[in-house]
Structure 1
Amino acid sequence: MEAAVVLREQPEIRELFEVLEGNGLKKERQEVESLMNYLEGMESQFGEVIKELKEVRGQLEQIQDRGIKATAARLLDSAEGKVQEIGGQIALVKTNLVRSAKNAVQEFKEKGVGALRKAMSAMKIPTVLSALKESLHSGMESMERNAAKIGIVGGDLNRAAQHTKNAGRALIGRRIKEPAEPKGDKGILAKVQKAFLSFGRSFAAMEKAADNAQKRMEQFCRGEGKKPSVKAELKQIKSGRNAGQKMQPAREQAR
């Protein structure tokens, strides 16, 4: 991700905001603002994920069993690939947002407000957020699967170690112990599993933030010049009626 790029400081974004405000396009400005705030909010979270990935990579070097180390390394490679995929998608959205802002301003200067509206609509910001949500949800599921697989490897390792101990105890006639519980964060594999679960929670939080950004856009669009709560209730109560019946209360409110 291009962490150095602060969207609100880009001249293309600042000029777009000036143009939108000057022409009363509040909904369009709100959409850009919501997407921009969301992307900037993800920077620190993604930075933490990348930092933790590097730490986990270092911990894998301490694993003695080559087979287990190879399995853990493959799972970590998969996790890194998913992080890079989503990070690249977010970086592309940022780049496209700046480019689209520049194009929208240019359209306005050449063709007027109508062209500006079309250019803003072409950004399809709600659709962009939906795509990001899908990728983040996929990332969360991927991390949870990796955590489960690491848990299986750790469980097998623990049982194998206990079996070896029991073989020795049987030779000297001592009672065989029941399998011991894993030692949590003290084991390297347990730390790796914990990291995968942490990555999954981070992706889930980012997905939730994208969903909240979408909802804020919808609320703003519904509420621009109207009462959103009333309109929402009318949609629910009169969902089975025709369009003309739905619009009647709104006209009565306007009077």
Structure 2
Amino acid sequence: METARQTALMEQPEIVELFRVLEGNGLKKEQKEVESLVKYLDGMESQFGQVLEELRDVKEQLSQIQDGGVKASVLRIAEQAQGKVQEVGGQFYTVRKNLIQSAKSVLQTFKEKGKDALQKAVSAMKIPSVLARIQEKLHGAMESMNRQADKMEVLSGELHAAGGHIKNVGRIFRGKEREKVEPQATDRGITAKIRKSFLTISGRLSSMEQTTGNVRKRLEQFVQKEDKKPSVKGELKN
């Protein structure tokens, strides 16, 4: 799954203008919400790029497998892993695209209806909920990657045992004693390397999930704190 380097959201004209308008109208909470999501998405791009790089390594390792049946089995496992990663990439792409579109819409709303409408429009973006959905996708992909790594471990063991049995058949025909089949070392063989790649990807996805959760938690705490502060309108009415 290839992705071209995208322009940082912080440099997108619509986002830059939205920050200017929010700051100019003293909407600190709303500015913080948008800023948290923008910085998060820009930061996730490089981390997700590392996940894609690991998947490319898996494809290269796959090409080195000689046995057609083995290659087909590993390919099925790799495709399941790639499918989950593509779901995460699709989620990032959708959120990014929707954020830019929402920024345009919010700015138009502000021009037509003013500050109060601007505040409501940013709130309607439901940024903490967006982060929660991304976190859920990352968790699902991480769990899937662990399952694929487990499948590779089983397959690796079966291949080693099968190879040992074939070797023993030849020894029997030559009138020699059977050799004991030792368990395959986890750091040898192409299937073991692919398993390690899956575990590396799982670790990266887990780190991304944790980062997402931390950003979401800090943002929710900030929003709750701001909501508890008395508004200027409320103070004037008292």
How far apart are residue 206 of structure 1 and its match? 1.1
Match of 1:58 in 2: 60
Q: TM-score, normalised by structure 1?
A: 0.83
Match of 2:82 in 1: 80
Q: Please say if 1:222 is aligned against 2:224.
A: yes
How far apart are residue 154 of structure 1 and its match? 0.6
Q: TM-score, normalised by structure 2?
A: 0.88
How far apart are residue 2 of structure 1 and its match? 5.5
| Unmatched segments (≥5 aa) in structure 1 | 228-255
Per-residue displacement from partner, 1:44-81 (whole Å, max 9, x unpaired)?
Answer: 11111112212211211211221111010111112222
Change (3 A) 1:107 1:42: same
- Which one-letter code corresponds to 1:184 in the other structure? T
Q: Contact (CA 8 Å) 2:128, 2:220: kept in 1 or not?
A: no
Runs of 4+ residues deviating >4 angstroms:
168-171
How well do the aligned residues superpose, as a CA RMSD in angstroms?
1.9
Match of 2:166 in 1: 164
Match of 2:156 in 1: 154
Q: Contact (CA 8 Å) 1:35, 1:125: kept in 2 or not?
A: yes
Give the Cα separation in 2 of the matches to 1:2 and 1:226: 43
- Which one-letter code corresponds to 2:31 in the other structure? R
Q: Contact (CA 8 Å) 1:2, 1:91: kept in 2 or not?
A: no
Per-residue displacement from partner, 1:143-195 (whole Å, max 9, x unpaired)?
Answer: 11111111111110011112233344455343642x32323333100011111
- Which one-letter code corresponds to 1:89 in the other structure? Q
- Which one-letter code corresponds to 1:115 in the other structure? A
Match of 1:41 in 2: 43
Change (3 A) 1:2 1:108: farther
| Unmatched segments (≥5 aa) in structure 2 | 230-238
Match of 1:121 in 2: 123
How many residues align? The count is 226
Higher relative contact order, structure no. (Cα contacts within 8 Å, ≥ 6 residues apart): 2
